[in-house]
Each structure stands twice: as structure tokens, then as C-alpha cells.
Structure 1
Amino acid sequence: MGPPFGPPRWVRHWETGPAGRRTGIAGLPWASTLVVVVIVLVGSRLAERMQPDRVEIDALARTLMLAGSLVLLWRHRFPVPVVCAATATVLLYLGAGYPYGPVLLTVALACFAAVVHGHRVAAWSALGALWAGHLLIAHWLYRWLPPAGDGPASWGEGLGPAAWMTAVLAASELLRAKRQQWAHVRAERAAAQERRAEEERLRMARELHDVLAHSISVINVQASMGLALLDSDPEQARTALTTIKSASKEALGEVRQVLDSLRTPGDAPRAPAPGLDRLPELVEQAAAAGLTVTTESTGKVRRLPPGADLAAFRIVQEALTNVVRHSGSRTADVTVAHTAEGLRLRIDDAGPATGGDAGGSGNGLAGMRERAAALGGTIEAGPRPDGGFRVEAELPLTGAPRPQQGRERPEQENERREHENERREQEREAHERREEEGTP
């Protein structure tokens, strides 16, 4: 049996077109062609005994039968010349007065190959020429062609060849339609596999971004502090270097875990995925970077599914990383609310922004939105009316993903980013004016 939704083995050779077929003599369909040769030669001898009024098979008849059969070796590479050559040899064979028989099988196979490979006009034309030639030989040219003394055939005898040709074309068109259906199924399967691979690549990219952005931000802050205090306060510089070592070790461990899942797909991870139970570690890391984080939990705490737990952890991690990198505030508030519908997260900082990318560079926010959308949730991120920046996430614990809620159309995304940039610019200018005036 063939693969699911695919062609059976006995017709798989029809699937390969001229571009994908091997070159040289090894790529030719020798087995099927030799079977046709045997059927035509042996079957014609039997037909000769049943049609004593026809011309006996001689060397010329065998040559025509061999030529019409052996040309089928190239029926997949050159279907149009082959169907023309097969039709011509059969017309010469019939015109020479030899007995009717399996010689017509060569035209049937040639037309079959031509239709399957998309040359329908050539196949229909070849069968039309064969039928017209047969009528001419049987009703007009018989006077000048062997056997001697042969009379005109009855018009009813022409119905047999017409029915035979119709059956050949119907079978060819049926296989052609099946071939197109198989190709469509294969294309859909390949597209689905490519989509799954793309989703996996995006998931890995989000995971690496969240891990590296957070850890490198902590390392950058601590490295700056260590350099500044290296001479004046060596002990504090040593503390900064210790924090750098701890953050880099943790980042290497998480990156190794992500890469291990790429090398051995399907295997269980060596370490559990992070979740909200590691929120105190985030607070400690933020404190090491000079950020004071207050946390608050409301509602009945319950065990979260692994996907929702990881998404919640990464969202909080990315939001705190953005506070460290892009906010002038040294404080942040994290609220985790457990509701009947799911989980609600809110991360606030008082601002002001310290650069044009306040709140995030875009990749982090996009990653948070994709994580929420994968669970059917939403993310709202933007400047607060009283200053600062806020990230709010809602993660339902049940229900199908709603990609439309987590993704924006390009024009909406551009408009939102322009609005955020304008707000950040206004905040930065206001902050600079207050510093120049000496007001808090």
C-alpha cells in the first residue's frame, strides 16, 4: 500500500515528470516496456490464427510492432513524440493488412502517458488521427491496400475502436485527476509542515530573546557599576562581578536547555521550564540591577498549565528587563491576579523614559503578544496617563488560541508605534525641561 492520501505503488512512476527523472538508460521503464513487447508479439500471433483473411505476420510486421513498443521507453521523457510515433506505426501496421490485435496497446499506453503528463491535446489528436486513419483504410483505401480482394468494412465495426479510444481517454483523465489530487494533498502536507517548523522557529526565537535580553541587561548594568566602583569601592565591584557570574551561568543553562530541545526533538527537557514560582528570583535579579520590585498576588492561587506558567514568567521577565533598560525609574510594581477565567498580570513603572525605546524595542513586545495570543490571551502595553509605562496581560487557562486578538494588522501596528514614540518623546522633553529648571 502507498502512504496515507498518496498514490499506490503501482502508479508512482506516473508521478515523476521529465525534470525529476534520472538520466541515462537506467532511468527508462524497461520492465513495463518489455512486458508490452511480449504481449504484442505473442498476442498478434494468436490474433493471426483467428483472422485468416488478413495478411500473415512477417518481418515487416514484427519490425513495426517492435518499433511501436520500444518507443514507449521514452514515454515519460518525451510523451508527445512517443504518442505520435506509436500512432504512426499502428497506422502503417493496419494499412499493410496485418491482423487486428494487441498492437493497439502501444497507442493506449502512449496516450495514457501523454494525458498524465499534461499533454491532453496531443493524446486526443493522436487517437483522433488513429480513428480517422482506420476509417479511411476500412472504407476507401482498402482498394489499393492488402490483402487482395478485401471489401469495405461495415460502419458498425467502427463503433468498437471508438469505444476503445473513449475508454482509454476516460482512464487517462481519471488518473490525471487523481494525480492532481495527490499533488494537492502533498502540497498541503508540506505547507502544514513548513508552518509547524516556522512556529517552532518563532517559539525558539522568543525563548532565546527573553533569556538573553534579561540576563544581558543585568550583566550590562552590573558591569557598568563594577567599572565605576572598581577603584573607589572594590568590595561593591566584587559584588557586581558575582552578580554577573550568577546571571551569565543562569543564561547559559537556559540557552543550553533550548538548544537541547532542538537537537533531540520530542525528548523531555532536562530541567523544568520556568514559571511564576521563580518570580522571587526575578525580583532578586532586578534588585541586583538596581531595580526595586514590589509584588502583589490576589485571588486564589492555583497550579497553572505549563504553557501558561512559562508565558506568564516570560512576560514578567521581559517587562522588568524593559524597565531596567529603558526607564528612568528604579522601581516597578508587579501584580499577579488569579481570576476564575485565568490569570491577569500588570507591570508598572513610574518612568520617565530614558530613550526612544521606552517600554521595549518592539521585539520584546511582539514576543509577549505572540505568547499571549498562543494561549488565546491579550497584551496591552503603552504609556500611562500619569507617566511611566504599563504592561497588562490576560491569559485564559482554557479555550482555543485567538491569533487575531494577539496580532495587529501592519497599519494598526505602525500607528500604535508612532503614537507610543510621540508619547515617549513628549515625556523625554518634559523631563529635560524639568531638569533644566531644577524642578523635580
Structure 2
Amino acid sequence: MRIDRTRLHDTVLAGIVAAASVAVFALYGPDRLAAGMRPPDAFGVALVLLACAPVAVRRAWPLAAMCAALVPETLLSALGYTTGMLGLSCVVLLYSVASHRGLAMALGALVVTLMTYVLSAVSGPVRVGGWSEHVVVAVVLVAVWGAGRSLRLRRAYLEELKDRAARLERAHAADTRAARAEERSRIARELHDVVAHHVSVMTVQAAAARRVLAADPDLAREALSAIEHTGRMAMTEMRNIVGVLRTDARAELGPQPGVRDLPALVEQMREAGLPTQLLIEGEPRPMPAGVDLATYRLVQEGLTNSLRHAGSDAKAVVTIRYDPRELDVRVEDDGRGVVEVSRRSGHGLVGIRERVALYGGILSIGPLPGGGFEVRARFPLKDGQ
């Protein structure tokens, strides 16, 4: 059976207060009493014990316990007994109300205690003590009440600190989860872009090698060599991406691809069978690394879609235009644009849309009026970029 330690402590405190109060009450024998006051007797001791008993429930019902203790205290004064001091139980209970209840209830308890003391002092059969003693009693009551309020405020402050720490911990955990989700999404986009592009190129080259294998073995060997080269490039890029996730070894990190690598990408697409032209308009200048990578991935995804869906006779044009405050990136082809729109809206273009939105860009994807398909993005650039 589990013991309620709080109730046990309050019960022990009630016993200590009762013993101290009875001892003080008994000290005032006939030789120390003022004229007209009743000496200690069994009935008076019983009233003292009744005044101390509510201390045992001071935390559960502090105000009710204080009111219950004031009744025998008032009877002691009204019948001419003296406790030799302000009732110790009432002091403890006033402190309990101030430290465990709100301000309004605590103020009410203080007022009731002061009024009860004044009533007992003026209505008793014998008036003892002067104004200085009454002032001391009032100061003691206010000081005890203030100590209780201070404890309550400190406890509330500590609870607020704990609650704030818990909220900060939850917010940190939420931020961590969001960061992990964003990182997973970023890695998924990178893996998709790398795998989709290189596998598409390898598939086209493998189909070309199969068609010319018997008629032109030399051309087939060139296609197989291109497949091998593309596969090695895919493995290298995937190794760099997955290496970031490794915790047991240092990843071999290299520079991320960017606009400077577009000529090589265009040449790769030409070798894969998609005639591609790269146009640079305006004065090239450095740009943020994220925009640089997003530009490369957008061109890579756009050319990959053209290679897969535009048709065997299609051509592609990549245009990079540097404006004073904007970078305009376009990938156009003259293939089967309208027919293939639904097939082109895959995960790759969704990832490109996320990349462009991340850097405040505007993305447009769709068929061209005269036929073909276009993927276009405009990235805002600050002055000096």
C-alpha cells in the first residue's frame, strides 16, 4: 500500500504544533495569569487540541482548515483562557492558505484572521496587552502571509520555467523532425535527378547499340563505351550523395554541379541521341550555390524528359539568360509536347518545382504553342550576385 507522504508530513506537523501549543498553554499557571483569567484545565486543553487538529489537512483544504481552527481559538479567548501567544495553528494555516491558494483567497484569509484576532481581543472578559503587542501580532500575521505568498510566487515561477523548457524542447524536437524531413526530401530529389538522368541516357544508348549491333559493330562499341562512362558517372554522383549519410567514415565530398557543368551535360545528351544546343545570354556572373545547383538540376531534368518523351527526331535548346535582377533558365524541345504532357509530370518535375520554390523562383512547365515542350524557371538575383 502506497503511503501519501504529504498527508503523513502534515499529520506529523499537526502533532508537533499540538504539543507545542499545549505546552505553552500549560505554562500559564495560576501564578502567571492576569486577574480574571481562567487557569489551564482539561476543557481548555481540548480546545487547544481542536484548534491544532486542522493542520493535518492544511494542504488539501487550507482555508476550511483555518476557519475550523479559528473557532476554538475564539472560544479560548471568549471563555477567558490564554494561549500565551497567538495560536500557532492559525499562523501555520494562514501560511498554508497564502502558499497554496490564489491571491483573492489568500487576502480573504488574512482579513478573516485579523478580524478574528481583533474580535477576540476586544470581546474577551479580560483585556491583556497594550497596543504594541497588538501591532506586533498584526506584523507577524502579515509577515507570515507574505512568506506564504512569496513561496507560491516562487513555485509558480519555477513551474513556468519548467513549462517553458518543455515547450522549447518540444519546439526543438519539431524543428529537428522538420529538418530531417527536409533533408530526406533533398536527398530524395538528388537521388532521383541523378538516377533518372543517367539511367535514361543509358537506356537510350543501349537501345541504339542493340539496333546497330549486327550492322555496325564499331558504332555499337561506342554506344557501349558511352553506357559504361555514364554508369561510372552515375555511381560517382550517387556515392557522393550517399556518402553524406555515412557516420562511420568521412565522405568524399566534391563540388556540386552547376552552370559551369552544362556544356558537359549538353555534350552527353548529344551522344545519347538528342541534338542539344546551349545558349548563354548576358554576362555570366557568380550566383548563390543553391541557385547554381537548382539550375543544373532543372536543365538535367528537362533534357532527360526531352530524351525520353520528345521523340527520335526532336531537338532541344537550353537557354541561360542573365538579367540584372533575374536568372532565366529555359529548356525547350520541338517534340510531341501536348501528347506527352501527362507522362512528363512525374516525380522529377515535382522535385524541380520544390527546388525553384525554395529559392523564390517561378516555374512554368507545359507545351509550346507551335509544338514541343518547355520547362522554364526564373530565379531572383540580388544586386552583386
Question: Normalised by the size of structure 2, how large is the TM-score?
Answer: 0.67
2:234 equivalent to 1:311 = no
Q: Is the 8 A contact 1:139 1:153 kept in 2?
A: no
Residue equivalent to 2:322: 338
Q: Is the 8 A contact 2:341 2:366 kept in 1?
A: no
- From 277, 280, 287, the counterpart of 1:294: 277
Alpha-carbon RMSD:
3.3
Distance 1:202 1:123 in 2: 58
Q: What is the CA distance between 1:253 and its match in structure 2?
A: 0.7
Q: What is the CA distance between 1:226 and its match in structure 2?
A: 2.5
- From 156, 160, 164, the counterpart of 1:181: 164
**Letter of the 1:153 counterpart:** L
Distance 2:221 2:240 in 1: 29
Q: What is the CA distance between 1:127 and its match in structure 2?
A: 4.0
2:365 equivalent to 1:381 = yes
Q: Is the 8 A contact 1:211 1:251 kept in 2?
A: yes
Give the structure with higher Rg (CA).
2
Q: What are the ranges of 5 or more consecutive residues in structure 1 without an aligned counterpart?
A: 1-73, 101-121, 400-440
**Letter of the 2:344 counterpart:** G
Q: What is the CA distance between 1:320 and its match in structure 2?
A: 0.3
Q: What is the CA distance between 1:396 and its match in structure 2?
A: 2.1
Residue equivalent to 2:344: 359
- From 218, 221, 243, the counterpart of 1:238: 221
Aligned to 2:287, what secondary structure does the other structure show? coil
In the superposition, relative to structure 1, how do residues 248 and 136 fare at CA in structure 2: closer, same or farther (>3 Å)? farther
Distance 1:312 1:142 in 2: 92
2:191 equivalent to 1:208 = yes
Aligned to 1:91, what secondary structure does the other structure show? helix
Distance 1:141 1:92 in 2: 20
Please give the per-residue CA displacement for 1:316-363, whole angstroms capped at 9, x wherever unaligned: 0010011112222521111111111131111111121565634331x2
Residue equivalent to 1:153: 86
Residue equivalent to 2:28: none
Please give the per-residue CA displacement for 1:273-302, whole angstroms capped at 9, x wherever unaligned: 111121121112212221110121111122
Q: Is the 8 A contact 2:269 2:275 kept in 1?
A: yes
Q: Is the 8 A contact 1:127 1:165 kept in 2?
A: no
Q: Is the 8 A contact 1:379 1:391 kept in 2?
A: yes
Distance 1:395 1:356 in 2: 24
Please give the per-residue CA displacement for 1:51-108, whole angstroms capped at 9, x wherever unaligned: xxxxxxxxxxxxxxxxxxxxxxx9xxx9xx44333323322332333699xxxxxxxx
Aligned to 1:96, what secondary structure does the other structure show? helix
Q: What are the ranges of 5 or more consecutive residues in structure 2 without an aligned counterpart?
A: 24-56, 88-116, 118-137
Aligned to 1:263, what secondary structure does the other structure show? coil
Query: What is the percent sequence identity of the aligned residues?
Result: 33
| Residue correspondence of structure 1 range 13-32 to structure 2 within 5 A | none
In the superposition, relative to structure 1, how do residues 141 and 196 fare at CA in structure 2: closer, same or farther (>3 Å)? farther
In the superposition, relative to structure 1, how do residues 135 and 158 fare at CA in structure 2: closer, same or farther (>3 Å)? farther
**Letter of the 2:345 counterpart:** G
2:26 equivalent to 1:93 = no
Distance 1:390 1:215 in 2: 21
- From 219, 232, 237, the counterpart of 2:202: 219
In the superposition, relative to structure 1, how do residues 164 and 137 fare at CA in structure 2: closer, same or farther (>3 Å)? farther
In the superposition, relative to structure 1, how do residues 344 and 152 fare at CA in structure 2: closer, same or farther (>3 Å)? same
Aligned to 1:295, what secondary structure does the other structure show? strand
